[in-house]
Homo-oligomer: A and B are copies of this chain.
């Protein structure tokens, strides 16, 4: 165990990557021991709109972006070390200014 980052222990990993927006977003889905689903991924610099089914908390471990939630006029900045929440059955616009690393927690 030589990782320099906090890791997730005792997980089930789906080795088949999720690729969205022609590769602007790549993630791997994993499951905690209790079955909780999460994904770890990257989003490259781009302006994108993501839809949500379940509510999501996006925990950023690298990069910078700004976010506008559906129905909002305001953009909010987020960077590595910060998180933002998105309601379920909704969407958000994201402008990635520096490649994001994230863990997505589904509510």
Of the candidates B5, B16, B103, which one forms a contact with A5 in the assembled complex, judged by CB atoms under 8 Å apart?
B16
- Asked whether, in the complex, the Cβ of B29 is within 8 Å of the Cβ of A3, the reply is yes
Judge whether B40 and A17 touch: CB under 8 Å.
yes
| Complex-state Cα separation, A48 to B88, whole angstroms | 40
Q: Does A28 contact B (CB under 8 A)?
A: yes
Contact yes or no, B14 A13, CB < 8 A? no
In the bound complex, how far is the Cα of B4 from the Cα of A29, in angstroms? 12
Q: Does A12 contact B9, Cβ atoms closer than 8 Å? A: yes
Q: How large is the interface on A (under 10, 10 to 19, 20 to 34, 35 or more residues)?
A: 20 to 34
Q: Are A16 and B99 in contact (CB under 8 A)?
A: no
A87 lies within 8 A of chain B by Cβ: no
A28 to B12, CA, bound (A): 13
- In this complex, which of A13, A30, A40 has the most chain B Cβ atoms within 10 angstroms of its Cβ? A13
10 contacts between A and B (CB under 8 A): A1-B35, A2-B37, A3-B12, A3-B29, A7-B12, A10-B11, A10-B12, A11-B13, A15-B103, A17-B26
